Amino acid sequence: MTARSLKDKEQRKAWAFVVPALVWTLAFFVTPFLFMVAMSLWTQQGGMIVQSWTLANYLAFFEKSALFKGLVNSLEITAIVTVLSVLLAYPLAWIIAERVPRRFQRLALTLAVLPFWTSYVVRSYSWLLVLSKTGVINQTLMQIGLIGQPLELASNRTATVIGFVHFFVMLLTLTIYANLVQLSPNYRRAAADLGANGLQTFWHVILPLTLPGIMTGAFLTFVLCIGDYVTPQILGGNNELVLPQIIMLQLGRRADFPMAAALSIILMLVITAAYIACARWLKIERA
Amino acid sequence: MTAPVSIINATKTFVGFTALDNVCLDIAAGEFIVLLGPSGCGKTTLLSILGGFLSPTSGRVMIGGKDMTHVAPAKRPTTTMFQDYALFPHMRLKDNVGFGLRMRGVARAARDERAKALLDLVGLKESAEKKPHELSGGQRQRVALARALAVDPDVLLLDEPLGALDLQLRRQMQDELKAIQKRVGTTFVHVTHDQEEAMAIADRIAVMNRGRVEDFGPPAEIYMRPRSLFSAGFLGETNFLPGVVEALDAATAKVVTAIGDLVLPRRNFTAAEPDPGQQVTLCIRPEHFRRAGEAVRPLTPLGQARIADAAFFGTHYRCHLKPAAAGDPAGDLTIMAHMPPSAMVADGQDIVLAVNAEDVVALPTPAGRA
Amino acid sequence: MTRKLLAALASWLYAALLFGFIFLPVVVLVLFSFQDGRLPVPPFNGFSLRWYEAVFADGKLMAALLHSFLVATVSSLVACLFGFLAAYALARYRLPGSALQRGLLIAPMTVSYLIIALGLLTVLNALGVGLSLWTVGIGHVVINLPLCFALIYSSMGAHHVNIERAARDLGAGEVKVMLLVTAPMLLPSLLAAFFLSVTFSWDEFIIAFLLSRFDVTLPVEIWSLLRSGLNPKTNAIGSLVFLVSVSVLMVLELWLFRRTRKS
């Protein structure tokens, strides 16, 4: 056997290993996606899909304020959720990494993410139990006489944000903690040795070193939050629909696949833009 | 079992880099060969080509008289002992050692027996049920050896097998390795950059540099009569003394140097016959310097020198000397010499140096280094 | 000294508050699953298991439970197998365009589930393929394959290369190297990839919702329960899933933890 044919045989073997995954991805991810792009350039008229190329759906998105408002709502909610979650999770991760004794850290972390293990749909429902007019908070406040009438806590943007923040605080605590414990304690010793106080050490050394972890977590938050249908649908009410809700509306009530496809493409473009914006902090390719 | 190995004009080029440059090497069956050289000299590439993990760009590899150049590793009568041992972390020692036999379809009972015998050979019979992570570095090394020998290879290839061990353990393991090789009789090809290790275990050493074999022979010959400047410098310490061949006769050649003239036997020109007027470099081992009148054999005096500093090494004093000879125009020639521990050596002392011309090797000075 | 004490106090207070926030809905959920009454909100009328009985008596919920289990297990097995094979090929061989292939394989990770589901739905509709648990499974492999691939690929360290070489040198063929050496060595990350996939598939809603029809998975069934508003039965099934997940997690944790510590 020559070196050449030996190499060819090796190559064929390697291809055989990689082909199932590639074919699956191409058939069930890339093809549907391309088909969806095509679909977004068609229209639906009278329950039939008209296969002539047009940008009508995209134009409609910018013309009809109801659709465009969906994106604005999505972006606003996502931005608030991301910032709030990072701000709330960082101190918790810090406390677990710094204040909790080492052998209890694993336990503390497991507890901090325990509600992950409720079903995703159930998690939003649980907040409904807490926030609704007859829910825990209203009943408690009325019991102690702070309010006479129940407050409207659910079915609005605040409820959606609370539901999201609850989930992403757990997620971010996990990623930021992982980042914090990786840091060599010598960084802090070196900073202290050179005369930095606690705050200066945090600001000039610890924070910059954990920034990649924060950004990865924040990006994950952004992507998962802006594409989510369940939480706003359960907690958000019908006043301020977000983009995924509007997409689902196109499918359900109107069976307008082309419009749903166009809105999905727009959603994806937004996520891509976010990715490009923070690509330099992310290490997804290496993961 | 054992087999001879021939490497014929092996060349291996990677993109923009020649790792092996036309290497020829003939190894007899049952020999313990050491490929010695600094990192990047091509020794590991040569071993990979022998093992079948790399194909040479050109040239051939013959093992036991058969062309093995493009045969897959598994089909060669060779096994490799890897630098990091590459033990299977999830298998017990006896399963590690028995793995090769398992692949050859040997039944469990038979391969367990063979695995035990080999573990016994390397002194780990008691640990057959353990897993690799329970072992020390030296023990892992032995398991790797047992595993490689279990399939009874004709040629065993060892890629810096002692490199990860600390110095003391390394010296102990090299003795064991040599003893085991003698018992099994397999041809061993062993890669290292440690010249002491090479001298301790090798039947013959191939000194490699920049993809070439610079010297090949028994340790004593390579040390005493190196055939290249690199070889002379890599194996032990050497003084390089520039000189010019002035006169020749049938048996000797006279070389003129800054610190005196030496008449050398012609056979001490190990790389090439001397030519009159030729620039040569004399290689003089530090222990070959004597103080004038010290030895029984006739000595060639090399003039006076002053001891710049001296350090005591137990077996000898290691001294840096400044020759006083006026013939050294630059005045920056320093000689390193070993003095016997009985000598009264002090900094600043003046002594008269001498050397036995038989011990001096002369090699052509490469262009640009004169 | 007092400043230090104050800082410690503040951080413990903060941690307590945040833990309270994190646990509040779960505590309420579990507590009112035992409600002896028709509404899972205060006041708590007394302890009762009737809603759990209702859950076990609900044939649709039980069927959904089984469906979820099947879809999660099968799709995770497929994702792990394909992910492992691809990771092995891309980590150990030099294939043309390997960076592109890696990028393609992890690309679905960066796309919302909603979009993946919608894409599959439009294609399945256009091809006239009926929706079933199979189509849900296909979608779940799409979302879990990148995860499995990335996890397994990143654990295929360079130090494993020599070990596989040694196996080959001793006569093992490609399949034997993979089965006897590579896979056992990577067992921790293979298991991690598998269980993570199971978790994701088990809990996934939107793909299961859009790509299923008559047979549905548990999250979809719970979703339809939600139409009846606040209902202690939803609490009961939610608590059940939570408690079972946590117990499984603990068992796995103990088992895997012991394993990884041993080897």
The CATH number that applies at residue B25 is: 3.40.50.300
Contacting chains of A (3 CB pairs or more, <8 Å) are: B, C
pLDDT at A181: 86
Residues B222, B117 share a domain: yes
Residue A9 in contact with partner chain B when CB distance is under 8 A: no
Residues B164, B61 share a domain: yes
> What percent of chain C lies above the pLDDT cut of 70?
97
C184 contacts on B by Cβ (under 8 Å): 88, 90-91
User: What does the pLDDT average to over B165-179?
Assistant: 88
B238 to chain C, closest Cα gap in Å: 38
Fold of A56-281: MetI-like fold (1.10.3720)
The CATH number that applies at residue B350 is: 2.40.50.140
Answer with the one of B210, B233, B256 that is the final residue of a domain: B233
Please count the other Cβ atoms lying within 10 Å of the Cβ belonging to residue C243: 14
Q: Name the residue with higher pLDDT: C87 or B327.
A: C87
Residues B130, B66 share a domain: yes
- Distance CA(B290)–CA(B299), nearest Å, equals 8
Q: What is the pLDDT of residues B132-141, one digit of tens each?
A: 999 988 899 8
pLDDT at B143: 93
Residues B150, B89 share a domain: yes
Residues B133, B24 share a domain: yes
Q: In chain C, where are the structural domains located?
A: 60-230
Residue in chain A closest to C30 (alpha carbons) equals A126
Pick the CATH number of C60-230 from 3.40.50.1820, 2.60.40.1120, 1.10.3720.10, 3.40.50.300: 1.10.3720.10
Residue in chain A closest to C236 (alpha carbons) equals A122
Q: What is the pLDDT of residues C41-71, one digit of tens each?
A: 777 777 888 889 888 988 899 999 999 999 9
Residue C240 in contact with partner chain A when CB distance is under 8 A: no
pLDDT at A194: 72
Q: What is the pLDDT of residues C183-235, one digit of tens each?
A: 998 988 899 899 989 989 998 999 999 999 889 999 999 999 988 888 889 99
DSSP string, B156-204: EEEESTTTTS-HHHHHHHHHHHHHHHHHH--EEEEEES-HHHHHHH-SE
Whether A272 shows a pLDDT value over 60: the answer reads yes
Which residue of B55, B57, B60, B75 is the best one to mutate when testing the A interface, meaning the one whose CB has the most A CBs within 10 A? Answer: B55
Whether B329 shows a pLDDT value over 60: the answer reads no
Which residue of C94, C163, C169 is the best one to mutate when testing the B interface, meaning the one whose CB has the most B CBs within 10 A? Answer: C169
* Helix and strand element counts for chain A (H, E): 14, 2
Residue B86 and residue C187: Cβ atoms within 8 Å? no
Q: Name the residue with higher pLDDT: B211 or B301.
A: B211
Residues B174, B313 share a domain: no
Residue C172 in contact with partner chain A when CB distance is under 8 A: no
Task: Mention every residue, 6+ apart, whose C-beta is less than 8 A from residue B142.
Answer: B122, B123, B124, B173, B176
Residues B331, B193 share a domain: no
Whether C262 shows a pLDDT value over 70: the answer reads no
Is B304 a domain residue? yes
| Average of per-residue pLDDT values in chain B | 88
The two structure tokens encoding residue B112: 């367990």
Beta strands in C162-202 (DSSP E): none
> What percent of chain B lies above the pLDDT cut of 70?
96
Residues B326, B343 share a domain: yes
pLDDT at A162: 94
User: What does the pLDDT average to over B317-326?
Assistant: 81
Q: What is the pLDDT of residues B279-299, one digit of tens each?
A: 999 999 998 887 766 666 677
Residue in chain B closest to C171 (alpha carbons) equals B74
Residue in chain A closest to C147 (alpha carbons) equals A287
Residue C172 and residue B103: Cβ atoms within 8 Å? yes
A2 to chain B, closest Cα gap in Å: 6
Whether A269 shows a pLDDT value over 50: the answer reads yes
Stretch among A9-18, A32-41, A197-206, C142-151 having the lowest mean pLDDT:
A197-206
Contacting chains of B (3 CB pairs or more, <8 Å) are: A, C
CB pairs under 8 A between B and C: 66
> What percent of chain B lies above the pLDDT cut of 90?
46
> What percent of chain C lies above the pLDDT cut of 90?
50
Asked whether the beta carbons of B178 and B188 are under 8 A apart, the reply is no
Residue in chain C closest to A274 (alpha carbons) equals C110
Is B370 a domain residue? no
Is B369 a domain residue? no
> Model confidence at A285, in pLDDT bands (50, 70, 90)?
very low
> Model confidence at A216, in pLDDT bands (50, 70, 90)?
confident
Answer with the one of B203, B233, B263 that is the final residue of a domain: B233
Q: What is the pLDDT of residues A182-198, one digit of tens each?
A: 877 777 777 777 767 77
Asked whether the beta carbons of B362 and B282 are under 8 A apart, the reply is yes
Contacting chains of C (3 CB pairs or more, <8 Å) are: A, B
Handedness of CA C22, C25, C30, C31 (dihedral sign): positive
> Model confidence at B370, in pLDDT bands (50, 70, 90)?
very low
Q: What is the pLDDT of residues B88-113, one digit of tens each?
A: 888 899 999 999 888 888 899 999 99
A117 contacts on C by Cβ (under 8 Å): 242, 245-246, 249
pLDDT at A143: 85
The two structure tokens encoding residue A164: 């999201």
Q: What is the pLDDT of residues A70-121, one digit of tens each?
A: 999 999 999 999 999 999 999 999 899 888 888 888 888 888 888 888 888 9
Q: Which of B53, B80, B103 sits opposite C171 (nearest CB)?
A: B103
- Distance CA(A285)–CA(A275), nearest Å, equals 12
User: What does the pLDDT average to over A238-242?
Assistant: 86
Residue in chain B closest to C185 (alpha carbons) equals B90
B52 contacts on A by Cβ (under 8 Å): none
Asked whether the beta carbons of C26 and A126 are under 8 A apart, the reply is yes
pLDDT at A118: 86
Q: Which residues of B176-199 are buried (b: 16+ CB within 10 A; e: fewer)?
A: bbbebbeebebbbbbbbbbbebbb
Query: Which region, left, alpha or beta, applies to residue B314 given φ > 0 means left and ψ of -120 to 50 means alpha?
Result: left
Residue C156 in contact with partner chain A when CB distance is under 8 A: no
pLDDT at C263: 43
Rounded to whole angstroms, what are the CA distances from A105 to A74, A92, B169, B230, C35? Answer: 35, 12, 40, 58, 34
- Distance CA(C143)–CA(A226), nearest Å, equals 17
**ipTM of the predicted structure?**
0.87
Residues B215, B105 share a domain: yes
Residue C169 in contact with partner chain B when CB distance is under 8 A: yes
Share in percent of chain A as helix, strand, coil (round to 5): 75, 0, 20
> Model confidence at B204, in pLDDT bands (50, 70, 90)?
very high
Residues B257, B212 share a domain: no
Answer with the one of B233, B255, B282 that is the final residue of a domain: B233
Asked whether the beta carbons of C142 and A29 are under 8 A apart, the reply is yes
- Distance CA(A158)–CA(A82), nearest Å, equals 14
Residue in chain C closest to B98 (alpha carbons) equals C170
pLDDT at A204: 78
Domain that holds residue B304: 237-364
Whether C259 shows a pLDDT value over 70: the answer reads no
DSSP string, B31-93: -EEEEE--TTSSHHHHHHHHHTSS--SEEEEEETTEE-TT--GGGSSEEEE-TT----TTS-H
Q: What is the pLDDT of residues C146-165, one digit of tens each?
A: 999 999 998 887 778 889 98
Residue C184 and residue B72: Cβ atoms within 8 Å? no
Containing B227, the helix (H) or strand (E) segment is none
Stretch among B77-81, B338-342, C142-146 having the lowest mean pLDDT:
B338-342
Residue A3 and residue B72: Cβ atoms within 8 Å? no
Residues B241, B181 share a domain: no
Domain total in chain B: 2
* Helix and strand element counts for chain B (H, E): 8, 20
A3 contacts on B by Cβ (under 8 Å): 55, 69-70
Q: Name the residue with higher pLDDT: A172 or B258.
A: A172
